[in-house]
Amino acid sequence: MKSILPVINEGKVLLSDGAWGTFLHRKGLQAGECPELWNVENQDAVLEIAQSYIDSGSDLIETNSFGGNPLKLAHYGLKDRAAELNEAAAAISRKAAGPDHWVLGSIGPTGQILMMGDVSEDEMLKGFRIQAAALEKGSADAICIETMTALDEATLAVKAAKESTQIEVICTLTFDLTQTGEFRTMMGHSSEEVVIALKEVGADIIGTNCGNGFSNMIGIVKEIRTVDAEIPIMVQANAGAPIIVDSETVFPETPEQMAALVPELVAAGANIIGGCCGTTPDHIRAIRNVLG
């Protein structure tokens, strides 16, 4: 277990990795297949992704466990294998990361809505606990709860990770730019509400991921920084909003375009920078060159 906070407190800006989901599809994962099952059935492909990000200069890499919540795995009939698949995910990333780089255990949303009564708080907590504990067991250095839009679910996930592990907990939400020019999550939460709620449940690092490209991320980081000057912020941006070219999903932002915005993102107050959907090792390398 390696702590991230002391390094951030020294003033260093860290580089995380790029996309996993879109990368897995490029490696042959078919629509309708469970990505997390590859952690046991196609380990080499998963390891190659992890390794490619280490090779392009990532300080921290994530794990192939975004959909590893029992509630999501249930769709594939794999609910009972949640612990095994998450532990394997962390172990693969650790293999690539070695002792010198950080492994962030990825936890995505359950896809269910608490306020609609889709699922109970207890059931949700239980699923997040299983996932977080397994990621720690597989040697993740921190838990990275990401792409959240509902604050009740995000705070439950942070609580579960805090209770069931000894490692640091990151939580990032996805914001959209509204017609009034402010950022809100799909469920309507402002950055201020998000910062306050996540700090209250003990998140060590907060931030934003996915979205529609790097330039919006600068605006979101600025909003977070006006609420809190101290809390470490992580940003993992999509390579722009996707477009379709010849039946393929293409993310339009080039490594150069993303890298060009990095100084402004750092100036706005970001402490960890990386990519989300559509970003590749080339994007990460380009950002590495800017961060030095």
Partner 1 sequence: MDNVIEGIALCVERGKISKQSPFPPDMKDQDGADEIAADAIKQGVKPDDLLDGCILGMNRIGEKFSQNKVFVPELLMAAKAMTAVMNHLQPFLESGEVKHKGKFVIGTVSGDLHDIGKNLASMTIKGHGFDVIDLGVDVPVDKFMQTIADNPGCFVGLSALLTTTMGNMEKSVKAIKEKYPDTKVLIGGAPVNQNFCDKIGADFYAADPQGATEYLKQNV
Among 7, 21, 47, 254, which residue interacts with partner 1 (rule: CB under 8 A)? 21
- Of the pair 169, 276, the CB lying nearest partner 1 is at 276
Among 28, 243, 256, 289, which residue interacts with partner 1 (rule: CB under 8 A)? 243
Q: Which amino acid is at 137?
A: K
Stretch that binds partner 1, among 37-45, 77-85, 135-143, 248-256 (CB under 8 A): 248-256
DSSP 190: B
- Of the pair 30, 166, the CB lying nearest partner 1 is at 30
Stretch that binds partner 1, among 1-9, 27-35, 94-102, 219-227 (CB under 8 A): 27-35
SS (H, E, C) 122-182: HHHHHHHHHHHHHHHHCCCCEEEEEEECCHHHHHHHHHHHHHHCCCEEEEEECEEECCCCC
Contact between 242 and partner 1 per CB under 8 A: yes
Among 7, 40, 47, 113, which residue interacts with partner 1 (rule: CB under 8 A)? 113
How many angstroms separate the CA atoms of 249 and 271, rounded? 30
| Residue pair 232/272 in contact by the 8 Å Cβ criterion | yes
Contact between 249 and partner 1 per CB under 8 A: yes
Contact between 32 and partner 1 per CB under 8 A: yes
DSSP letter string over 57-106? T-SEEE-S-TT-SHHHHGGGT-GGGHHHHHHHHHHHHHHHHTTTSEEEEE
Contact between 27 and partner 1 per CB under 8 A: no
DSSP 18: -
Smallest separation, CB 224 to partner 1 (Å): 19
- Of the pair 5, 250, the CB lying nearest partner 1 is at 250
Which residues inside 160-219 make contact with partner 1, applying CB under 8 A? 178-180, 184-188
Contact between 111 and partner 1 per CB under 8 A: yes
Say how many Å lie between the first and final Cα of the chain, rounded: 25
Matching residue, tokens 């003033």: 11
Stretch that binds partner 1, among 22-30, 156-164, 196-204, 255-263 (CB under 8 A): 22-30
Smallest separation, CB 34 to partner 1 (Å): 10
Among 22, 63, 64, 271, which residue interacts with partner 1 (rule: CB under 8 A)? 22
Q: Which residues are CB-contacts of 29 (< 8 A; sequence separation ≥ 6)?
A: 35, 38
- Of the pair 120, 178, the CB lying nearest partner 1 is at 178
Q: Which residues are CB-contacts of 18 (< 8 A; sequence separation ≥ 6)?
A: 53, 274, 275, 276, 279, 280, 281, 283, 284
DSSP 57: T
User: Which residues here bind partner 1, judged by CB under 8 A?
Assistant: 21-22, 25, 30-32, 67, 72, 75, 111, 113, 115-116, 149, 178-180, 184-188, 238, 241-244, 247-249, 251, 277-278
